[in-house]
Structure 1
Amino acid sequence: MTDNKFLTAAAAIAIAAAGHATSVSAAQPVKNVVLVHGAFADGSGWRGVYDQLTRRGYKVTIVQNPLTSLDDDVAATNRALDRQDGPTILVGHSWGGTVITEAGIHANVAGLVYVSALSPDAGETTGQQYEGFAPASEFVIDKADDGFGFVSPEKFKAGFAHDVSDEDAAFMRDSQVPINLEVFGTKLKNAAWRTKPSWAVIATEDKAFDQAMLIHMAERIKAKITKVSASHALFMTQPKVVADTIDEAAKTIQSKAN
């Protein structure tokens, strides 16, 4: 009986929280940011962006994606979004762009920022975004027997983070979070960029994607584009540029709401 009462109370709290999430008004100050990392990395790479934004008064939450499926990563992102107390800028790097495209329909999301990130449409797969563009010859993925992928250790610095120190690149290489490669064949159900304003930061020396592919994706979603000389690891090496773009997104949305 006690357990049932506890479960009933927990359910009531969850329903109340959900109701609060859906009641958020864009007229409230946009002071929340949720950061979503991509494949082969974890949330710690956002530390520089986090420091930049918190110094400017933002409340910043960093998602730790399991990288086991699109549904799992979206669920992790939604858990973070549920905890926000007002309009939120949702930011994704690389694979994280696919995640924010699906999760960005959440009521708390006021705008999207794509950091050298993927942005499929509803009904498309992530893998389809590569079609018609030059392959990333320096970004080599080794597939394990269980279907998970790692960036080749021999190619990691050149392909992922050529502008990172040798020591930091080695740590990133050896602390990789593998991704289930089946995620690239999962069709999206939603495309938040169709209803939420978008911004894009593109690394001009990104070896994970063809430049034409990054520009095509950003232009298709009508994102305001900022280019910066950086590797695929621009979320680490260019924290001020990324933070400035997030800040611009928040202020633009706020000004239009007033």
Structure 2
Amino acid sequence: MKTSLKLGVTALAFSIFFGSNVNANIINKSTILPPSISNSLNIKNIVLVHGAFVDGSGWKPVYNILVKKGYHVTVVQQPLTTFEGDVAAVKRIIAQQNGPCILVAHSYGGAIITIAGNDPKVAGLVYIAAHAPDSGESEAGNGKLYPSAYKSLQKGADGFDYIEPSKFYADFSADLPKEQAEFMANSQMPTADIVFHAIIANPAWKVKPSWYMVAKSDRIINPDLERMYAKRAHSHTVEIAGASHSVFESHPEDVAQLIIAAATQSTQKK
């Protein structure tokens, strides 16, 4: 009877913490616990890393939520010109933190934090519909193993890629207001094609705890590839029904809750 009551209280706390709008399919045996239950470091530094074709301004809804809850949040503006330069940009921001931090990334940013996350200040990694390659892998190579649905990628003669603006809404941001997606399409950052082919070595998710959000309607990264990344890393995982690749903007509350879970559970073993 006591065991059943304890489990019931834990389940109730979980539902209150995450809300009813998240389809939270836990892929591994780890459980995301609310702060009152977890062995908490109460980390307050959060570093947000954007993906390809966008800049850090897309993190503003998540930023606002976290700042209101007392977190110190920094948004990286990496140049998307070389993989090494993007990793260096993230490490530069990590160095500015006054203590341990949680490193969060969307899309291509996941490959960046997979390397930058080895920094000793990084206590945990959060992947939001993001790549998490293993040693010897690249984002582009994994994409071929799990083909995505979009056909709008354009490769410029100068070596920089972009998403065809007229197809950006359907492929990248179908769950955002169309006007917002159109602005993103027309303000996107062309990204050097070479960054998608960077070969990963010593991925941080092998030694740091990780959290993963799968966007179930993602057309840019195959959701099955996202699930593979999450399962392989033994990530604490949630899936968001109907979410596009822009899940970091369309579901900021869910994203913020996952980040808070990482910030309050980084001492737990995977």
TM-score, length of structure 1 as denominator length: 0.86
Q: Counterpart in 2 of 1:171?
A: 183
What one-letter code is carried by the residue in structure 1 that aligns with 2:54?
A
Tell whether the 8 Å contact from 1:96 to 1:118 is kept in structure 2 after alignment: yes
Question: Relative to 1, partners in 2 of residues 1:50 and 1:159: Cα closer, same or farther, differing over 3 Å?
Answer: same
**Number of aligned pairs?**
230
* 1:32-51 deviation digits (Å, cap 9, x = unpaired): 00000000000000001001
> Which has the higher mean CA deviation after the structures are superposed, 169-178 or 28-37?
28-37
Aligned-pair CA distance for 1:224: 0.9
Deviations along 1:137-166, one digit per CA (max 9) or x if unpaired, are: 334210111110001112100000001112
8 Å Cα contact 2:41/2:265 also seen in 1: no
Pick aligned residue for 2:167 from 155, 160, 173:
155
Name 1:205's counterpart in structure 2: 217
- Do the aligned partners of 1:28 and 1:87 also contact (CA within 8 Å) in 2? no
Q: Is the 8 A contact 2:149 2:222 kept in 1?
A: no
Counterpart of 1:208 in 2: which secondary structure? coil
Greater relative CO (CA pairs within 8 A, separation 6+)? 2
The amino acid that maps onto 2:73 is V
Percent of pairs with identical residues: 42
State the 1:61 CA deviation. 0.3
- What does the per-residue CA deviation read over 1:169-206, in whole Å, with 9 as the maximum and x for residues that have no partner? 11100000011011122112330001000000111111
Cα distance in 2, alignment partners of residues 124 and 140 from structure 1: 24
Alpha-carbon distance in 2 for matches of 1:192, 1:177: 27
The equivalent of 1:41 in structure 2 is: 54
Q: Which residue of 2 aligns with 1:122?
A: 135
Q: Deviations over 1:208-235 (max 9, x none)?
A: 1222111111111111111112110011
Code of the aligned partner of 1:207: R
Letter in 2 for 1:63: V
Using the alignment, how far apart are the partners of 1:239 and 1:139 within structure 2? 27
1:1-258 to 2 correspondence within 5 Å?
29-133=42-146, 135-229=147-241, 230-253=243-266, 256=268
CA-to-aligned-CA distance 1:35-75 (integer Å, 9 cap, x gap): 00000000000001001111111100000010011101101
The one-letter amino acid of 1:59's match is H
Contact 2:52–2:108 at 8 Å: present in 1 too?
yes
- Which is richer in helix? 1
